[in-house]
Amino acid sequence: MSDDKVTRTVYLTFPKKVLSVPIFWSIPQKFKVVYNIRGASISDVKGLMALDLEGESTEIDRLVEYFKELGIKVELHASNELAFTSTEDEASREGEDDGVKPQGPSSQG
């Protein structure tokens, strides 16, 4: 088994029957995966969540299967890389010439 850690973003849809189950309490006890809740919306009938998962691929796969066994719909993000890379890329491009020149004070004669 590889020690290479990966980070994956998943989108979860919780059916009503699991909304009151303390699923996230048990994750550290059952899986070697660190999770970060990036966003969530919960109502009386369903829950939606964007979640980053960090760990070995095999552990993340086990956790995804656990979610599915509980009846949670799991959608994997199109890319295994998080938005951190694109955010850094965007930040590095902030100084690039976008065709708009800053306007300085005009000289009056």
Residue 17: the pLDDT is 95
Q: What is the pTM of this model?
A: 0.68
Q: What percent of the chain has pLDDT over 70?
A: 69
d(CA 91, CA 72) in angstroms, rounded, equals 35
Task: Say if residue 59's pLDDT is above 60.
Answer: yes
Confidence band for 4, pLDDT divided at 50, 70 and 90: confident
Domain boundaries along the sequence of the chain:
5-79
Evaluate if residue 69 carries a pLDDT over 70.
yes
Q: Does domain 5-79 match CATH 2.60.200.30?
A: no
- The lowest-confidence range among 15-19, 54-58, 105-109 is 105-109
Q: What is the 3-state secondary structure (H, E, C) of the chain?
A: CCCCEEEEEEEEEEEHHHCCCCHHHHHHHHCCEEEEEEEEEECCCEEEEEEEEEEEHHHHHHHHHHHHHCCCEEEECCCCCCHHHHHHHHHHHCCCCCCCCCCCCCCCC
Residue 49 token pair: 């969540």
The pair of three-digit structure tokens given for residue 102, joined into one six-digit string: 């800053």
